[in-house]
Chains A and B, each alone.
Chain A
């Protein structure tokens, strides 16, 4: 069966982000992770949207011989890029975990919530252990999370949001 790395990694990334950031909230159930911009009926806030923006060969090796999980075959380093979007509504409130540098007021809203989401999403992505979430053997070689951009408020929608580009490389084998 052909390897399905792009799906395995995308799913692991979504599961890892959801698992990692929800444990930082008081009741552990509030932050919703989506694999694409969700349909209106499904959208709940705060939302983390992992948008797959590109993928392709990163580097080929001489002879293209690679080993993965005890299997040898033809392969190369493959890259995939994502844009991580954070969105919360003006009235979205999250009670952050008490061990998470909270002050006496642990209910975060608006820009304070967005800042918390940016910091902790970044931490979660950089700490993500792929082996915990992968549904098939993968070897992620590098990960690069760029800075959060377009941080702001959209008055028409009453949304706070930010986006960051994320790039990973992994071993592709066939």
Chain B
């Protein structure tokens, strides 16, 4: 933490520490922002191909590219690569923790809710480890997402082991238990490896009596020589989809492949249950894992931002994608 950051007369970070020791109102959030893609534009006419007079025509919709474009070139506008952001380590006081309001709409039953986050000043947030290192982050904006753990479904014990696969397999169904998977949206853990790379994260389950798996492979291999937080979705993932996590200012891409496990169909009986979590590294050096959570997410979308400068920020957030767990379990 940069020591020039003013903590305000309240000293909100200290206040959060004290509240956090007595209650669970202080939440450890994951900040997320969608990627911003290149806009579809044209500077040349249709079949004849001559230059169009005037500035590039901006059709308004994005294409599927996220590339650097230096300046106006044929059929493109200036653009700098702006990946999706997933930044961990943002703490905030939340009230209330769970807010649900169900409404039957044209598209079906939708659960909404609203809450207020109180968090330290923007200058403090900008000095936090991942936030200060990620050049794409400048400030909180409306439509940013704050991901909270609504409920922790599984919290395996911390682990220190050498890096062979047997030692890095965490049994999620010890004894004759058959834990369900349909409540789980995401996985989060902190990892530190002495010298090897993190190569993949695999969630195994038994679905319809057969073994199935979901593997997030580290496309950008990296060595987390000090503890880093990995947070990835595990529900409704299609094979080949990618997720990017910012670690020390660099985007690390994970690719889902193979994906045969459908968590919604793990209802928690002897033929449908979550069996293990396997962390794979490139060799067999010592690995430390802690704060391992498989959790039900609460996705909060930032709607209002009030910044009281050095004191604190008040963030109004709404929940727009809540669903009913009973339906998840029933319909799979």
Residues of B within 8 A of A18 (CB): 52-55, 57
Residues of A within 8 A of B59 (CB): 10-11, 14, 35
- Give the nearest-CB partner of A22 in chain B: B54
* Interchain nearest-CB distance for A23 vs B (Å): 4
Residues of B within 8 A of A34 (CB): 58, 60
Residues of A within 8 A of B48 (CB): 132
Q: Is there an interface contact between A15 and B42, defined as CB atoms closer than 8 Å?
A: yes
Q: Is there an interface contact between B45 and A29, defined as CB atoms closer than 8 Å?
A: no
Assess whether B46 is interfacial by the CB under 8 Å rule: yes
Chain B, 27-80, CB within 8 A of any chain A CB = 39, 42, 45-48, 52-55, 57-61
- What is the interface residue range for chain B against chain A? 10 to 19
Known A-B contacts A15-B52, A28-B53; A133 and B58 likewise in contact (beta carbons under 8 Å): no
A residues near B, CB below 8 A?
Answer: 10-12, 14-15, 18-23, 28-36, 38, 42, 44, 131-135
How long is the Cα–Cα vector from A146 to B274 in the complex, in angstroms? 64
Known A-B contacts A15-B52, A19-B53, A22-B53; A35 and B58 likewise in contact (beta carbons under 8 Å): yes
Additional A-B contacts beyond A23-B53, A30-B55 (13; CB < 8 A) = A12-B46, A15-B45, A18-B54, A18-B55, A19-B52, A31-B55, A32-B54, A32-B55, A38-B58, A42-B58, A44-B55, A131-B47, A132-B46
Q: Is there an interface contact between B54 and A31, defined as CB atoms closer than 8 Å?
A: yes
How long is the Cα–Cα vector from A12 to B58 in the complex, in angstroms? 12
Name 30 interchain pairs, CB-CB below 8 A, sorted by A.
A11-B42, A11-B57, A14-B59, A15-B45, A15-B52, A15-B57, A18-B52, A18-B53, A18-B54, A19-B52, A19-B54, A21-B54, A28-B54, A29-B55, A30-B55, A31-B54, A32-B54, A33-B54, A33-B58, A34-B58, A34-B60, A36-B61, A38-B58, A42-B39, A131-B46, A131-B47, A132-B45, A132-B46, A133-B45, A134-B46
Q: Is there an interface contact between B58 and A15, defined as CB atoms closer than 8 Å?
A: no
Residues of A within 8 A of B39 (CB): 42
Q: Is there an interface contact between A19 and B60, defined as CB atoms closer than 8 Å?
A: no
Closest 6 A/B residue pairs (Cβ): A22-B54, A22-B53, A35-B60, A36-B60, A35-B59, A23-B53
